[in-house]
Amino acid sequence: MAVREKATILDIAREAGVSKSTVSLVLQGSDLIRPETATKVRRAIEQVGYVYNRGAANLRKSQSNVIGMVINDLTNPFFAELAVGMERVFQSAGVVPFIANTAENPVRQEEVLRSLMEQGVGGLIISPARGTAPDAFHRLELAGIPVVFAMRRLPGSRIPAVAPDNRRGAMLATTHLARKGHRRLAFFGGSPDLVVYQDRLGGFREACEAEGIEPENITVIEGETNRRGGMACLETALAAPNPPTAALCFNDAVAFGALLGLRKAGREPGRDFAVVGFDDVAEAEHYMPALTSVSVNTDGLGERAAHMVLKMMQSGTTRAEDHVGAVNLVVRESCGPARTNKVENAR
């Protein structure tokens, strides 16, 4: 007598005339399936003689409990350092995360999120790409998947975020430049569609007002948030009739570009034009000249985001309190000496 092969989900789907995913949902007791469809699937289960191994299913579920790290730009050393902090926590917890680089592309981001949902993602840490629609993560919220924003957040979103105190950091940096004698200040890089840009530019403007910098001596130049953007911002600033003498940059990548642009223009960074970055990536300390930057404890923020999403997963919630990380200004060579002998000329 021939041994009958065990029935599979595919056999059930064929018998009931539905998809495999529909059969899986019925087996899991999901209420997403219409009653009449569920009845048809159960009848097919009996007809093909399928035996549901719940223990094996639970094992499969735990193995597919993926944690996704969806990063907007891994070519930026800041986000690479942030991801390392996250991964360290996941490794300690025995979890292997899936990491994806969206390259600031909302379409690519949507593809990654769809794929992760299909893999049964258990939690997500996301640094949203530029141009992300306000409702881009609505499907994740409806599915009850814990999500944490890292560094970037979306206006009006209830998704918890981990980010540094951007406004205070910009104020510290701007105040430092003003008190070194600079009276014509610039803000380089970024664009208004980023909440982090609004926060940092807001802190810059607030400090300028507090330090008595005249509005006509404040220059804001939008641009890409990378070295190329920094070089372009610097070139635009120097071409102005009354150019600034110092700049706070949106991030360190923009600052590195500004320093390169100064050298290209025959200017000495620090001595002829002061530059301050934001993030204080590892490269900042070893750059030539060493970059003054707002330190945001990158690793610590990554670790905090990882702990937050793990806790949300364990407690079965999608809600958590935002975390605003402390900042401080690390002063190095790129600001140069105080402009005590040049203040009058700069006014």
Question: What's the CATH code of the domain at 273?
Answer: 3.40.50.2300
For residue 2, tell me if it sits in a domain.
no
Query: Do 74 and 102 lie in a common domain?
Result: yes
For residue 3, tell me if it sits in a domain.
no
Cα–Cα distance for residue pair 317/57, rounded to 1 Å:
23
For residue 51, tell me if it sits in a domain.
yes
Say how many domains are in the chain.
3
- pLDDT tens string 243-263: 999 999 999 999 999 999 999
pLDDT at residue 120, rounded to an integer: 82
Cα–Cα distance for residue pair 347/341, rounded to 1 Å:
12
pLDDT at residue 84, rounded to an integer: 92
Cα–Cα distance for residue pair 38/25, rounded to 1 Å:
9
Query: Do 141 and 277 lie in a common domain?
Result: no
Query: Do 281 and 170 lie in a common domain?
Result: yes
N- to C-terminal Cα separation, the chain: 100
Query: Do 137 and 223 lie in a common domain?
Result: no
Query: Do 139 and 249 lie in a common domain?
Result: no
For residue 1, tell me if it sits in a domain.
no
Q: How far does Cα 85 stand from its chain's mean position?
A: 13
Parts of the chain with a pLDDT under 70: 1-6, 51-65, 339-347
Query: Do 218 and 341 lie in a common domain?
Result: yes
Q: How many angstroms separate the most distant Cα atoms in the chain? A: 103
**Quick check: pTM over 0.75?**
yes
For residue 303, tell me if it sits in a domain.
yes
Query: Do 206 and 262 lie in a common domain?
Result: yes
Looking at 49-163, list the stretches that DSSP marks H as alpha helix, in order from N- to C-terminal side. Answer: 54-63, 77-92, 106-118, 138-142
The amino acid at residue 204 is F
For residue 96, tell me if it sits in a domain.
yes
Query: Do 71 and 217 lie in a common domain?
Result: no
Query: Do 24 and 109 lie in a common domain?
Result: no
In this structure, is the dihedral angle defined by the CA atoms of residues 13, 19, 24 and 30, taken in order, positive or negative? negative
Query: Do 194 and 71 lie in a common domain?
Result: no
Query: Do 219 and 342 lie in a common domain?
Result: yes
- pLDDT tens string 88-139: 998 888 887 899 999 999 999 999 998 888 888 889 999 999 999 988 998 8
pLDDT at residue 33, rounded to an integer: 82
pLDDT at residue 58, rounded to an integer: 47
Structural contact between residues 143 and 316, judged by C-beta atoms closer than 8 angstroms: no
Structural contact between residues 318 and 145, judged by C-beta atoms closer than 8 angstroms: yes
Structural contact between residues 191 and 330, judged by C-beta atoms closer than 8 angstroms: no
Query: Do 293 and 303 lie in a common domain?
Result: no
| Strand ranges of the sheet holding 123-126, from the earlier edge strand across to the other edge | 98-101, 67-71, 123-126, 147-150, 161-164, 323-325
Both tokens assigned to 157: 């979103």
Structural contact between residues 89 and 306, judged by C-beta atoms closer than 8 angstroms: yes
| Structural domain that includes position 209 | 166-297+330-346
Tell me which H or E stretch contains 104. Answer: none
| Beta strand residue intervals within the chain, DSSP E | 67-71, 98-101, 123-126, 147-150, 161-164, 185-188, 218-221, 246-249, 274-279, 292-295, 323-325, 328-330
For residue 263, tell me if it sits in a domain.
yes
For residue 103, tell me if it sits in a domain.
yes
pLDDT at residue 53, rounded to an integer: 52
Tokens 């707002």 — which residue? 294
